[in-house]
Structure 1
Amino acid sequence: MSDSFELDAPDHFTVGAVGPPGQRVFYLQARQTGRL
């Protein structure tokens, strides 16, 4: 299982997906002041 991180109140949140339907990989990125 992947690493987990907890951000109380992210300043910015970005989502992306790569690949065809059914084989997609999803990427999530959140930023909290001083932490990406």
Structure 2
Amino acid sequence: VPKGHVWLQGDNSLRSQDSRHYGPVPFGLLQGRVWLR
């Protein structure tokens, strides 16, 4: 993954359109924040 990018991957590999489809995503395109409890 290039510097300044992230790899996004959904939990449904057959139906998710994620980095496996689009490639690495630039940080500047991210919106929101993930929280895990």
TM interval, shorter chain, is 0.3 to 0.5
- The structure in which a higher percent of residues are helix is 2
- Structure 1 length normalisation: TM-score? 0.33
Larger Rg: 1
- The structure in which a higher percent of residues are strand is 1
